[in-house]
Amino acid sequence: MIERTPILNAVTYFIMILGLILILGPFWMIFTASTQSLQEVTAVPFNMTPGGDFLKNVHAAWDRANLGPALLNSLITSLLVMVGKIALAALSAFAIVYFKSPLRHVFFWMVFLTLMLPLEVRVIPTYNIASDVFQPVRWIIQTITGIELSLQWNLLNSYSGLVLPLIATATGTFLYRQFYMTLPDELAEAAKMDGARPLRFFIDILLPLSRTNMLALATIMFVYAWNQYLWPKLMTTDASYQTAMVAMRALVPSVNALPEWNVSMAGALIIMLPPLVVVAVLQRWFVRGLVSTEK
Amino acid sequence: MNKRAVFKSWWLPVLFALPQLLLILFFFYWPAISVFNWAFTLEPAFGGAGERLFVGFDNFRDVFADSEYWRSVSLSLFFAFTATGLSMFIAFILAICVDRQLKGSSLFRFFYIWPYAIAAPAVGLAFRFIFAPESGLIAVVNTWSPDLWNPAKYGSHAMILVIICFAWKWIGYNFIFMTAGLQSIPRSLLEASSMDGSGPVRRALDIQIPLLAPTLFFLLVLNLTESFVGPDTYGIVDLTTEGGPNKATDVMVYRIVSEAFRGLNYSGAAAQSLVLIGLIMVFTFIQFRFVERRVHYK
């Protein structure tokens, strides 16, 4: 930066290029494998130049993993999670930050505690409740009044089931809370002075101000939702609701079948592309969202 | 930190918070209560109807008496520390290099972030191919001597494969935070020390690393938590080794899920889940204490 250090600069470039190989190497291998024929892809040592079978492999992967509907499901789920999460986060952070109420601490800690309950440790009961959402409601009503209700709502194999448990998490709420905290108090004071009610203040002032925030949150939530695996895998027994990430399992060559890695890699390439494009193109927003949620 | 100007209403905040409140009650707290309930009770025998049997700490005793459980714990520990160390080390070296802001380093930065976009199962599938014993990049070693590398057969190889997947994926994330941390170090500090005659290496050791320590600590705790209980670990293991060969990569998260769904041992899985929740609480507590302290420093 300041002095001339030709040797150290050369070393730096050397390390950075090694890093680049480490990062881009796997991408290049996925790509080349996806363009080769079965014979080429199983060749040892592996040939790092692309072949000419890309479209053929994509076609095979598309059929094998039923990628058309799977990609559509992933897209729908991700967009719904994105929108739902932003809406929920903006609203609930507003309730936490801008209202003086003893409940706000309770609510904040309730949201905070969810960070300690990742899906993997509560997977079966979450599955249970998704198959019968009103189970706690029935239980409460029955213990209080003794009346047995027959209220039922099954979320398995539905978009609501894919989306609702994912938008309940805490990250977005914290991002918005952080953002509201950085706004000057005078803003709310002035709005109150001008006679704005809370809802007007929220819609006309807070939401427009949070546009950059929203974009940042949108990028990370899209990537987050697209890359979900365990939850969609468990709750979509019906193939027509499978997401792309789950469908990818069908692309793993089985032990006794042909090792068709070219088809696997073609499918993997398509499935990993949307979040990669989001991260690459909207990198500025993505990084900002990520850095500010995790503090 | 509280806002001076706030609105007065008791029902509006409740209304605004209600959607999220309901969702976390349904999908977080109710399941958590069930886990708690299951961990201390057993299904009535022969699948009979009626109340669950309270058995105290019996489920925990069963879990802790199982030598496979302890094997899984030590595998998880090994996995978490190695993967975290590897990932953070590489990301740190790259971040320090990029932060020297030589010509073209923004191009490198652009690519270094990419792994974070790739889902863990996809990383698993890709690396399963790259490190496959019969084709891909490493297969060539098997032509020198058969089975020199075979993650489908040797547990240690499978573990290496899983660690590489996790470490590679998290380089992107660690890199993002380390560059952000390095950028927040005032340039004037570095300039002043170079006026005093320190070279780039000395500056890295005496200024950048100490000032980056909070970020590094934050990342350390986060990486450990994620590799211990995170969804990425599950996704990677499921797509590469499925816990095998011979349970050599049967880490705790993977074990809980497979035990519950394949073994249908709800109570055992619930007891294991509670142990994990306890661990996460410890991690999060450390994190939170630390974050609070850093806010005070500012």
Phi-psi region of B50 (alpha: psi -120 to 50; beta: other; left: phi over 0): left
Numbered ranges of CATH 1.10.3720.10 in chain A: 53-291
Average pLDDT over residues A54-66: 87
What average pLDDT does the segment A113-131 reach? 82
The SS3 of residue A99 is strand
A123 and B110: CB-CB below 8 Å? no
What's the pLDDT tens digit per position in B215-265?
Answer: 888 888 888 888 888 888 999 999 988 887 888 888 888 888 888 777 677
Residue B141 has pLDDT above 70, yes or no: yes
Find which of A61-65, A269-273, B260-264, B294-298 is predicted with most confidence, using mean pLDDT.
Answer: A269-273
Residue B76, pLDDT score: 92
Hey, which residues 207-236 in chain B have their CB within 8 Å of chain A? Answer: 218, 222, 229-231, 234-235
Name, in order, each residue with C-beta under 8 angstroms of A145's C-beta and a sequence gap of 6 or more.
none
CATH fourth-level superfamily of B68-294: MetI-like (1.10.3720.10)
Q: Kindly state whether B61 is in contact with chain A, defined as any CB-CB distance less than 8 angstroms.
A: no
Q: Do residues B135 and A42 make contact, with C-beta atoms less than 8 angstroms apart?
A: yes
Q: Is B274 helix (H, G, I), strand (E, B) or coil?
A: helix
Segment A163-189 mean pLDDT: 84
What pLDDT is attached to residue B295? Answer: 41
Q: Residue B151: is its pLDDT beyond 60?
A: yes
Separation between Cα atoms, residue A28 and residue B252, nearest integer Å: 33
Q: Residue B46: is its pLDDT beyond 70? A: no
Long-range contacts of B63-69 (CB under 8 A, 24+ apart): B63/B268, B63/B271, B63/B272, B63/B275, B68/B247, B68/B250, B69/B255, B69/B272
**Residue A17: pLDDT band with limits 50, 70, 90:** very high
Query: What is the homologous superfamily of the domain A53-291 according to CATH?
Result: MetI-like (1.10.3720.10)
- The predicted complex's ipTM stands at 0.86
CA–CA dist A171, A94 (Å, integer): 15
The H or E element that residue B54 is part of is strand B53-54
pLDDT, residue B198, reads 84
**Strand, coil or helix: B42:** strand
Query: What pLDDT score does B165 carry?
Result: 94
Bridge-based pairing state of the strands B41-42 and B53-54: antiparallel
pLDDT band at B1 (very low <50, low <70, confident <90, very high): low
The tokens 């363009």 sit on which residue?
A35
Determine contact, residues A226/A50, Cβ cutoff 8 Å. Answer: no
Query: Nearest Cα to A244, choosing from A162, A126, A127?
Result: A162
User: Is there a contact between A261 and B135 if contact means CB atoms under 8 Å apart?
Assistant: yes
* CA-based nearest residue to B39, from A138, A111, A110, A124: A124
A268-286: average pLDDT: 89
Q: By the CB < 8 Å criterion, does A188 face chain B?
A: yes
Torsion of CA A280, B218, B103, A30, to 10 degrees: -40
pLDDT at A21: 93
Q: What are the backbone dihedrals phi and psi of residue B260, each rounded to the nearest 5 degrees, phi first?
A: -70, -40
- Interface touch B134/A44, C-beta < 8 Å: yes
- pTM of the shown model: 0.88
Q: Which residues of A touch B93 (CB under 8 A)?
A: 15, 19
Q: Is the pLDDT of residue A239 over 50?
A: yes
Angstrom distances, CA of residue B292 to CA of A117, A186, A293: 21, 26, 15
Query: pLDDT tens, A42-52?
Result: 777 788 888 88
Q: Which residues of A touch B271 (CB under 8 A)?
A: none
pLDDT in tens, B156-201: 899 999 999 999 999 999 998 899 888 888 888 888 888 888 888 8
Q: What is the model's pLDDT at position B169?
A: 94
Q: Residues A85, A221: contact at Cβ < 8 Å?
A: yes
| Percentage of the residues of chain B whose pLDDT score is greater than 90 | 20
pLDDT for the residue B79? 93
Residue whose tokens read 């975290």: B84
Interface test with B, best of A219, A227, A256, A279 (most B CBs within 10 A): A227
The answer on pLDDT for B298 being more than 50 is no
Residues 20-39 of B with CB under 8 A from A: 20-21, 23-32, 34-35, 38
Closest CB from A44, A114, A180 relative to B28: A114
Mean confidence (pLDDT) of chain B: 84
Nearest to B95 by CA among B112, B117, B118, B115: B112
